Chains A and B, each alone.
Chain A
Amino acid sequence: MKRKLRDLPPALLMLVPSLALLGVWTIYPLARAIDYGHKRCDSTFRNCTDAGWDRYSQVFQSKQFQDALMVSLKLAVMTVPIGLVLGIGLAVLADKHLKGIGIFRTIFSSTVATGVAVASLVWFVLLQPQIGVLADLLSDWFPKLKNPGLLNDPDTALPAVALSSIWASLGFTFIIMMAGLQSVPRDLYESAYVDGAGSFRRFTNVTLPMLTPSILFVTVVLTTRALQSYGEIALLTQGGPQSTKATTTIPYLIYGNNSVIHNDIGTKSAAAVLLFLLCLVFAALQFRGFGKRVHYGN
Chain B
Amino acid sequence: MATDTVRGARKVGRYALLVVVAAVVLFPIYAVVLQALKSGPDAFDHPRSLLPVDLTFDTIRSAWTDGNLGHLLLNSLFVSGMVTIGVIITSLLAAYAFAFLEFPGRQALFAIFLATMLVPVEVTVVINQRTANWLGWDNSYQGLIVPSLATTFGVFLVRQVFLQLPKELREAAALDGVGHMRFLYEVAAPLSRPTLGALGLFTFLGTWNAYLWPSQIITDNDHQTIQLGLNKLKTPNDISKFNLLTGGLVVAALPIFIMLVVFQRQLVRGLTAGAVKG
Contact = CB atoms under 8 A, between A and B. Distances in A.
Contacts of A268: 126
B152 interface: yes
A208 interface: no
Contacts of B102: 3-4, 7
B149 A133 contact: no
Given A96-B14, A110-B257, A133-B47, A17 B93 contact: yes
A206 interface: no
Nearest to B147: A25
A176 B150 contact: no
A137 interface: yes
Interface stretch (A56-64, A77-85, A223-231): A223-231
Given A104-B22, A117-B252, A275-B122, A133 B31 contact: yes
B191 interface: no
Interface string B227-251: 1101100100001001001100100
A167 B26 CA distance: 10
Contacts of A203: none
Nearest to B96: A14
B90 A255 contact: no
Interface stretch (B54-62, B63-71, B192-200, B209-217): B209-217
A130 B235 CA distance: 13
Contact of B90 (A18, A112, A275): A18
Contacts of A108: 21-22, 25
A268 B122 CA distance: 11
B90 A180 contact: no
Most buried by B among A15, A254, A268: A15
A282 B49 CA distance: 44
Contacts of A131: 44, 239, 242
B210 A183 contact: no
Contact of A29 (B126, B210, B278): B126
A126 B150 contact: no
B11 interface: yes
Counting chain B residues whose Cβ lies within 8 A of the other chain, the interface size class is: 35 or more
B178 interface: no
Interface in A90-146: 90, 93-94, 96, 98, 101, 104, 106-118, 121-126, 128, 130-131, 133, 136-137
B124 A10 contact: no
A179 B230 CA distance: 33
Interface in B111-154: 113, 116, 118-120, 122-128, 130-131, 146-147, 149-150, 152
Contacts of B131: 24-25, 28-29
B89 A93 contact: no
A170 interface: yes
B104 to A, nearest CB: 6
A10 B122 CA distance: 34
B191 to A, nearest CB: 18
Contacts of B272: 175-176, 179
Interface stretch (A30-38, A47-55, A153-161, A189-197): A30-38
Contact of B212 (A45, A231, A276): A231
A73 interface: no
Contact of B146 (A21, A123, A133, A296): A21
- CB-CB nearest 10 A-B residue pairs: A115-B209, A29-B127, A21-B150, A231-B211, A29-B124, A117-B227, A136-B46, A18-B94, A131-B44, A14-B93
Interface of B: 11, 14-15, 17-18, 21-22, 25-26, 28-29, 31-32, 35, 44, 46-47, 49-50, 89-91, 93-94, 96-97, 101-104, 106, 109, 113, 116, 118-120, 122-128, 130-131, 146-147, 149-150, 152, 155, 180, 205, 208-212, 215-216, 227-228, 230-231, 234, 239, 242, 245-246, 249, 252-253, 256-257, 259-261, 264, 267-268, 271-272, 274-276, 278
16 contacts: A4-B103, A4-B104, A5-B103, A10-B180, A11-B101, A18-B94, A29-B127, A30-B119, A30-B127, A98-B15, A121-B231, A122-B32, A125-B35, A131-B239, A167-B28, A183-B276
Given A106-B260, A121-B231, A131-B242, 9 more contacts: A15-B109, A18-B94, A93-B14, A114-B253, A126-B28, A272-B126, A276-B122, A279-B118, A296-B278
